Structure 1
Amino acid sequence: MSDISMWFAFAFVLIALFLSTWQKLGMGKEIVIGTVRCTVQLLAIGYVLQFIFHSDSYLFVALFVIMMVTVASWNASRRGAQLKGIFWRILLSFGLTAVATIGSMVAVGLVTPTPQYLIPMSGMVIGTSMIVCGLYISQMNRETETARGEIEALLALGASSRQAIQGTLRRAVKASMIPTFDTMKTIGLVQLPGMMTGMIIAGASPIDAVRYQILTMLTFSSAAAISAVMISLLSYRLWFTNDSMLRQDAE
């Protein structure tokens, strides 16, 4: 793609701005900021990745993955700002998920341990985990408020905090995983995912592109399950006070 073609691509943003103005949506500022941030961030990351790929250093790969995990953890933790310590629990959950999934793929030979494979795959796994954890926290906030009476009754009857919140926890974990598996049910029929489309546009065989996309989607399913279960195990106590009472600021 030429530089001129890239500049013409910004015409799509003008369409969004026109529609926002026409319908008085008040989205002009968000559209402009989002466009600028997207462009700057992707260009910057492009140069960084080019440097890392040429250096072929695992130290730079590790630092880049740590950066992705940290940013994703901060973004997901904003949904639970009232929960003290949620950031570190999400960080640990993301780290364990990335190590388990990427490590398994490297161990069985599905992925070559080079920066060109490790960084993109790690980014997709961490991105999936970020969405799952964000959904989990939002759902837990809603579920604990809806089931407050039930949870407090169980606590009054002598149940532990884990026993009292187990049903709520299970519903929140399930809700956080549903979007990932719903996507798997319709992929290829409703949408052609970005990785597969990018490979085809770059000239790869559609069959090879499909194989990599299958690998990616199966990895997503594992990442979604691991991160959802891990964050639930690590964080459920945060919805209780130190004396095992349900927090009043759960929302």
Structure 2
Amino acid sequence: MEQLAVNNLSLVLAFALVLVAVFVSSKEKLGLSKDILYGIVRAVIQLSIIGYVLTYIFQLNNLVLTSAMSLFIVVNASWNAYKRNPSTQKNYWHSFSAIFISTYITLGILVLSGAIRFIPSQIVPISGMIASNSMVAIGLCYRSLNKQFHDQRQQVLEKLALGATIKLASLPILRESIKTGMQPTIDSAKTVGLVSLPGMMSGLMFAGVDPLHAIKYQIMVTFMLLSTTSLGSIIAGYHAYKNYFNHDLQLLDEEETE
């Protein structure tokens, strides 16, 4: 099969698509033009650097470096999930524990089952795939928690006044927030193969792998993403809802959480 090649001219022409997004943002006064350009410049720099780093790590095939790179991904994903939490009472370690546990439980099962091997060319990209999806799910969960504690403040106060524990008073909010975090992955699973041909499957087929083998890998990816987003959302949600209460188990004022 002929190998695909992306030359500099291809990249320049593809950049024109970015300019379309910038034009739309400018014309509609969305205020996203700077963010788009900043995001593109940052992505190019980060990908260029990580490309050289991964080339070195893949060639070295060292257990310690592979583990360190995987942990580096988890730490950064946790930091980004933490930043997406609109509450002023947020805690980085809540995000880290949620992503760390959800990522390595899923990754551990894949390695122990023989689905993947503990080599950098498999562990690093799979770690990134798992951690990034967990990061997105947790970010959505945090935003939903913050919004619902604002919108349903009176209901929570009434439940507390009637003697409910903070967990019982927050349970409907907590459940809805976890659901919000998981929903994009569930929706994606429903439409995979019909609407979208996801990255791993498409990449394998680009590389010349038989479509049936590529589909098996994509099914595995779907399973692992459902696992990690559910675990991540649950762990983060059950940590984060407590941030909306003080040590006396009273609901914090809105000014204290925004």
Taking structure 2 as the reference length, the TM-score comes to 0.90
After TM superposition, list the pairs within 5 Å mapping 1:200-219 onto structure 2: 200-219=205-224
- Is contact 2:86-2:146 (8 Å) kept? no
- Aligned partners of 1:80 and 1:86 also within 8 Å: no
Secondary structure (helix, strand or coil) at the match of 1:67 reads helix
How far, CA to CA, are the matches of 1:129 and 1:80 in structure 2? 14
Distance 1:170 1:16, change over 3 A: closer
Identity %: 34
> Which deviations, in whole Å up to 9, do the C-alpha atoms of 1:60-97 show, x marking residues without a partner?
12221222112111111123253435211110111111
Shift of 1:10: 2.1
- Structure 1 counterpart of 2:130, one-letter code: V
Choose from 117, 125, 141 the match for 1:136: 141
Q: Is the 8 A contact 2:142 2:240 kept in 1?
A: no
Q: Which residue of 2 aligns with 1:179?
A: 184
Query: How far apart, in 1, do the equivalents of 2:33 and 2:179 lie?
Result: 36
Residue 28 of structure 1 aligns to which amino acid in structure 2? S
Whichever residue aligns with residue 151 of structure 2, its letter is T
Displacement of 1:18: 3.9
1:230-245 superposed matches below 5 A = 230-245=235-250
Instruction: Please give the alpha-carbon distance, in whole angstroms, between the structure 2 residues aligned to 1:141 and 1:75.
Output: 17
Aligned equivalents of 2:181 and 2:31: distance in 1?
Answer: 30
User: Matched residues in 1 for 2:102 and 2:57: separation?
Assistant: 23
Matched to 1:138, the amino acid is R
| 1:42 and 2:47 matched | yes
Amino acid of the structure 2 residue aligned with 1:234: H
Q: Deviations over 1:144-196 (max 9, x none)?
A: 12221121111112222112111211111112111110110011111111221
Q: Is the 8 A contact 1:136 1:176 kept in 2?
A: yes
* Gapped regions of structure 2 (runs ≥ 5): none
Give the 3 Å change call, closer, same or farther, for CA 79–13 of structure 1 in structure 2: closer
Q: Counterparts of 1:171 and 1:12 in 2: how far apart (Å)? A: 37
What is the aligned length? Answer: 251
- Is 1:93–1:231's contact at 8 Å kept on the other side of the alignment? yes
1:33 to 6, 25, 38: 38
User: Against the structure 1 CA distance between its residues 155 and 28, is the aligned structure 2 distance closer, same or farther, given a 3 Å change threshold?
Assistant: closer
Deviates more, 1:223-232 or 1:18-27: 18-27
1:149 pairs, out of 144, 148, 154, with 154
Pair 1:108-2:123 in alignment: no
Equivalents in 2 of 1:23, 1:150: separation in Å? Answer: 39
- Give the match's secondary structure for 1:80: coil
Q: Give, in whole Å, the separation in 1 of the partners of 2:29 and 2:164.
A: 53
Is 1:57 matched up with 2:56? no
Contact in 1 for aligned 2:182/2:233 (Cα 8 Å): yes
1:189 aligned partner, one-letter code: L
Q: Describe the shift of the 1:27–1:200 C-alpha distance in structure 2 as closer, same or farther (beyond 3 A).
A: same
Q: Which amino acid aligns with 2:87?
A: Q
Structure 1 residue 89 and structure 2 residue 94: aligned? yes
Query: RCO (CA 8 Å, sep 6+): is it higher in 1 or 2?
Result: 2
Amino acid aligned to 2:210: S
Report if aligned partners of 1:173, 1:229 keep a CA contact under 8 Å in 2: yes
Deviations 1:116-165 (A, max 9, x none): 11111111110111011001110001111222112111111222211211
Deviation at 1:209, TM superposition (A): 1.3
Deviation at 1:23, TM superposition (A): 4.6
Give the partner amino acid of 1:47.
Answer: Y
CA contact (8 A) 1:83 1:239 kept: no
* Contact 2:149–2:173 (8 Å) recurs in 1: yes
2-side partners of 1:98 and 1:162: how far apart? 26
Shift of 1:201: 1.5
Cα 1:139/1:25, change in 2 over 3 Å: closer
RMSD over aligned CA atoms reads 1.7
